[in-house]
Structure 1
Amino acid sequence: MARATGTYVTTTAGDENVRAFVPLALPPEDPVLDANAYVERNRCAELALARLSALSGFAASSEWITYSAIRKEALLTSQLEGIQVTLTDILDVEAGIKVPSAEHAEEVANYIRAVRSARAQLADPKGLSLSLRLLTEAHRVLMSGVRGATKQPGAIRTSQNWIGGTRPGNASFVPPPANEVPGALSDLERYIHAPSPTLPPLVRTALVHAQFETIHPFLDGNGRIGRLLIAMLLEEWKLLPEPLLYVSGYLKANQRTYYDRLTAVRRDGDWEGWVSFFLEGVEAAAEDAQRNIVAIAALIAEDRKRLLANGTGTLVTLRLFELLPTMPKLTVDRAVQALDVSHPTASKAIEVLRSIDVLRETTGKPRAQRFEYKRYVDLLRE
C-alpha cells in the first residue's frame, strides 16, 4: 500500500516557480512500517555488527582499526560526491607531502577532522549531544577552507537548493523551502531522542539518514554530513563501540540504487524498500570491515615478529613500528617529531625497518627521502 511521505509546496527559486517537497515527520505512518519487510535483514545486520564489535579487539590497538575505517569512509563518502582523490593522496597530505589534487585531498581531510570533532563532543560530558548544533558544527569543520567555504559553513541554508539539473526548474528533486527547514530538523531531532522508540535502532538509523537527505539543510555537504550522521547514530545507539564501519563503500558500489531508493521514499512512500537496502548495506559493510581487521592484525603481527627476530632493532625501532599503522607514510623529520629522538636515532630505526622490508623508500633520491609501510598501504587500498 502506498503512503504519503510529504507534501508539495510551490516556492520561487531562481526567478521560477517550483514544487518543493516538505517531508512528514518520522516515523512512517498510514500505514506504519511493515515489520515483515525488514525483520530478517535487521537481525542479520545486527549480528554482523556484533561480530565486528567483538573482532575489533583482535588487533593489538583499536586505534589501528579506526584509523583504517575512518579514512576509508572519508575517501568513499567524498567520492560519492564526485571528489576525485585517492587513499595515497590522503596519506600523503597527512605526512606533509604535496599532492596534485591538494584541494580535493583537503576536503577529505576535513571530513576526518569533522569525525574527530563530533566524537570528541559526544565523549565530553560538557560537550554537545547528538543534535542539530553538533551537525552544524561538523558541517563548519567539513566546509572550512575548501570549495564549500562560500556555502555558509556551519549554517542552515536560508535559500532554496536543489538536486540534479542545472536549475530548480529542471531539478530531479527540490528539497523543502528554507523557511520549512528549521521545523523539519526539529522534528528529526525529536525523533532521534524519542524516549520510547518502537523500531530497532538500525531501522531508525535508516529512517533518519533518508529524512536528513530529504531535508537537505545545507547549501553543500549534505551527503557527507548525512552519512556522518549514520556513523554517529551507530555509536550513540550502542551498535558499535567505535567508528569501525565504512558503509559508504557499499553505497558507492550501489550508487544508482542508493539514490533510486531515496527517490522512491519521496515519490512512492516506499520506506520498506529503502530500509531493506540500507540493512543489506550495513551487513555487507560489516563483513568487509571484519575481513579488513583480520588482514591488518595478521600483517602487523607478522611484521612485528620479523622485527623482533631480526636482533638489530632497538626500543626506538619497536616504538616506530608501533606507530606505523597510524603513520604509514613518513620522513625522517616526521619520525624525529613522533618519537622525540635525535635525527641519527630516527634514521637508524628507519634503516632497520627498511632492512626487513617493512618500510620502503619511495623517492629513489639520496636526499629528502620518504618512506612507506607499503604492504599495509596496499592492504588499505584494496
Structure 2
Amino acid sequence: MRKTTIISIIPTLYDGGAQKFAADLSFGLIKEFDHSFVRYNSGEQEYDHAGAVIDLDVPKRQTVFGKVRRQWQLLQALKKLKQQEQATVAISHLLMPNMLNVWSKNNDVTLCVLHGEWSVRTGRSKWLDYFVGRSYNKADHIISVSHYIKDMFDAHYKLPNPHHVIYAGIDLKSVLKKAAAPTPTTLPESYVVYVAGFRPVKNHLQLIAHLEGYLKTHQTQLVLVGDGPLREEIEQSIRDKELTSHVIVTGNLTNPYPVIAKARASLMVSSSESFSLVVVESMALGIPVIATDCGGPREILLPDWKQEVTLPCQTEYGVLIPKPDQWTKDIVPQELERLLANKERWQQLSENGKQRATYFSIERSEEAYTTLIKDITAELKSI
C-alpha cells in the first residue's frame, strides 16, 4: 500500500528555530509517511533531517520587480512539483512558504505553521496584511507554535479555518548529548547566560544597563551568546560602562549547550517571543530560567497560562518578570539575587524544569502532527 506523501516547504534547512524544528520533525514524519522537503534557498549547511530535499531552482533577484517575478516563478514551480509528487499534505513553515503553499494548492491539503509574529502579519502595510489574511483564508489547517500566536492570529484575521496549537518541541536527547561536549570558549567560574540574536526585540542594551551595578558588586558575570546587527552597539555599551571584565560576548556558537549547562541561570528578556526554544532547552539542562512575560515563556513556565499573576512571579518552573519597558530599576538584579542566593529554591527549580521540559519534547510534536495528518487522510478517504 502506497504511503501518504507529505512535503514540507521551508526557505532553507538552516539558520533559524523554524528550520531546526522542521528538520527535527521530519524524523517522526518519515516513520509514518513518504516525506520530503521542498526548499527555495539552498545553503552550504543543513540541520540533520530525514527525507529527500528538492530544490526549486529559481535564481534570486535583486530588483523589486525581479523579486516579485521570482515569487511567481516559485509558485509555478511548486504547483508543478505538487502534481509530480502527488502530494497528499503540504506543510509549510514561516510566512512566505505559507503564502506559496496556499496559492500552489492542487489536490493537496495545506497546513500552514505560524512560528512567530512575522508568520502572522508583515507589519509593512495594511494592504499587504490584507493579502496575507486572504491567503491564510485558503489554508485547510493552520498550526500555531503557541496559544500566544494563535490568539494573536485569531484576533487579527478572525478566520474560520481549523486552527491548532502544536508546540515546537525540542530533541531532548540531542540537547543533553551536545551539552556534554567541551565548552567552545573560555568561561568564568560563575555566570548567567543569555542566548539570543542581537536585535532590538531582545533588549540586550536594557539588560546590561539594569545589571551594571549587580555585575560590578558580585562575582557572577554575564555571558551573551549570539550575534546580529546590534553587536557593535552592545559591545560599545559594555566598554562605556566599564564592564569588559564582567560581560563576555561569544558570538554565535554552533553548539551553545555546554555554555548553557554550566550557567547559574538562563535569562530571556525579549519583548515578544512566540515560544522560546532556549527557555525549554535551559530547563532541560537543569538551569533555572528568568524570563519576561512576553508570550510563549508564560506557557512554558506557567502551565495555567491564562491565570492572572502579579509580576514578578515565582512559578513552580521558573521566574516570570515584566517586559523591559515595564522594568523598575532593581527588578532584574533582585530576582537574580533571590534565585542565586537560595540554593534549595535553585535546586527545586532545576529538578522541576527538567520534568517540565519533557512536555515540550519533539516526540510529543511528532505525535500531534502524525495524528492530525492521519485524521486528515482518513477524512479524505471517507469522501
TM-score, length of structure 2 as denominator length: 0.27
More helix by share: 1
Larger radius of gyration: 1
Q: Higher relative contact order at CA 8 Å, sep ≥6: structure 1 or structure 2?
A: 1
